[in-house]
Amino acid sequence: MNGDMIGRIIKGRYKLIDERGRGSFATVYVARDLENNQIYAVKVMHLELSNDGELQARFQREAHILLNLSDPHIVRIVDYGYDHTMHYIVMDYIDGQSLKYYMINDGPMEPLRALIYARQITEGLDAAYKQRVVHRDIKPQNILINSKDMVKITDFGLARSRETVTLTQSNVFMGTAYYISPEQAESGRSADTRSDLYSVATVLFEMLTGRPPYEGDTAVDIVIKHMNDKIPSICRLRPDLPMEMDLFMQKSLAKSPADRYATPQEFIVALDQLQDRIRAVAKVEANGGHGGEKKPGNGAPPKPATPPQKDAWIVILSSGQSIPLQAELMVVGRQDPTLGIFPEISLADKTVGRRHAYLRNQHGTYTVEDLNALNKTRLNGVTLTPHEERALKDGDVLRFGSVEVRFELR
């Protein structure tokens, strides 16, 4: 399955108009409902995998589980089925970015923001817990943040409910190594809501410090550390956090599930206590080290004026042509009128894919994302991993196929 899927109509109703993301067994598209003009996200299993019974079961399981989950913090399913050779799931379209995007581009987060996101994730998991559903793949890539700063959990492809028939591969290591609990790494069958909460804690750890609790050269190295290594001190990595944050992490990331928070509600209570503690500390600091009201006219110097934001351009090195980057989302590619493909940044070179890469502008932060192009996208000579956003800085050199351009801020 590739970019040629753009323009296809599923079930005589959902027209695929853009590609949003691609995984190992499915691609998510932006689609327009021809009956009511509504925009949805449509997840389509790769055609070459459509005869894989195990993956079909996983795909159908995700649809059935989502049908029974209703919560503001879980992506809602609209429709699902099989159309000719395509298995598909239609979901609400989320206007926003993944949590991973913000972690990459913003770095370590302000503590209250990170705690609010963690609380919303846990509220969604509480709805799943009440339906006896375990997500089993909580990670920043599966957490979407919409334009109203609300969390939406997606990708229940690895989820399992107690009513679900266990698949033959459920013993195999599943999920992502940075965020997986020790018991899930050892045996997926033993994962319960405490395993999901462990994953939320690892995500919170990374939001606050810019790195996950455990790192290694391979997935196996990381998993072994989850199972055996001492829990790192988050306060040592970020000294401005209160010591209660270390105590929270020690409990949340305990090796034994019995030593952790037992339910999402317990986890939420602990998160709320941390928020209260951080707000109290911030209030004392704002009042000059005491709890009373801060008096006006303290003689504090005015904040320096914010410098005007520079305009972004790309310059094609072979010709010197400058192209302004004016939209929030721009497709870099090769025009193909026959297929109705007209990228915002059109490069007339056969080594450039029709939909080669995205350039994004999020409040003045520019990023590039390779769209799994045949001839790849390179940033300063390094080949980019498909569908992983990388921040751009003034002077960076990008290569789309054989076309080199320079990113400039003027």
Active site residues: 137
Measured CA to CA, the distance from residue 76 to residue 62 in angstroms comes to: 12
The full length of the chain comes to 410
Q: Are 209 and 109 in contact (CB under 8 A)?
A: no
Measured CA to CA, the distance from residue 327 to residue 10 in angstroms comes to: 29
Measured CA to CA, the distance from residue 84 to residue 189 in angstroms comes to: 34
Measured CA to CA, the distance from residue 221 to residue 185 in angstroms comes to: 12
Give the number of other CB atoms < 10 A from CB of residue 324. Answer: 11
Give the number of other CB atoms < 10 A from CB of residue 381. Answer: 7
Measured CA to CA, the distance from residue 103 to residue 409 in angstroms comes to: 23
Q: Are 147 and 95 in contact (CB under 8 A)?
A: yes
Q: How far apart are the first and last CA of the chain?
A: 39
Q: Are 78 and 90 in contact (CB under 8 A)?
A: yes
Contacts of 22 (CB under 8 A, 6+ apart): 28, 371, 372, 386, 387
Give the number of other CB atoms < 10 A from CB of residue 85. Answer: 9
The 3-state DSSP composition of the chain as helix, strand, coil percent (nearest 5) reads 30, 25, 45
Contacts of 212 (CB under 8 A, 6+ apart): 178, 179, 202, 205, 206
